[in-house]
């Protein structure tokens, strides 16, 4: 039986460490068969890489230790509600489920920081504001 409190406690420890390193309050775990096989914090502040989200890094680290047969049993635990990029990466990786602790509104009140608002606004945008499709017939 899974002990989700154990995973939430670990996420809390990791995100506290991330904040102490002047990072953002995001952490993630990959769990298979009740065992943590990978963990990460958001490293965008360390790497200057805007894609260094905790969820993506945990997936990358876990992927190195997993077989295709194990992926459908993997669960991604995240401290905060994952962005669309992280959800999509988890789907491509074959992760079976994503469990998150804080939704974006809760995270904003518990761990306020400037990009929470940005993340919330981005999640509300319609794709056509970001993407532009150039049709071949218009060229």
Active site positions, annotated: 55
Task: Concatenate the DSSP letters of all residues of 16-39 into one string.
Answer: HHHHHTT--S-EEEEEETTEEEEE
Locate all alpha helices (DSSP H) within the chain, ordered by sequence.
4-20, 44-47, 54-63, 84-93, 104-110, 114-124, 127-130
Length in residues, the chain = 139
CB atoms within 10 A of CB 76: 26
> In a 3-state reduction of DSSP, which class is residue 1?
coil
- Say which residue the tokens 């532009």 belong to: 132
């Amino acid at each position: 039986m899974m002990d989700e409190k154990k995973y939430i406690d670990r996420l809390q420890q990791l995100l506290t460490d991330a904040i102490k390193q002047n990072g953002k309050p995001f952490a993630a775990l990959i769990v298979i068969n009740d065992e943590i096989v990978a963990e990460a914090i958001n490293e965008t502040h360390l790497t200057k890489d805007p894609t260094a989200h905790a969820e993506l890094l945990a997936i990358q680290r876990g992927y190195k230790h997993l077989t295709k047969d194990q992926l459908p049993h993997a669960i991604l635990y995240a401290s905060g509600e994952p962005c669309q990029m992280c959800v999509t990466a988890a789907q491509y990786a074959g992760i079976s489920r994503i469990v998150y602790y804080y939704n974006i509104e809760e995270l904003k009140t518990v761990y306020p920081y400037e990009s929470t608002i940005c993340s919330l606004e981005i999640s509300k945008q319609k794709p056509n504001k970001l993407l532009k499709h150039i049709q071949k017939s218009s060229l």
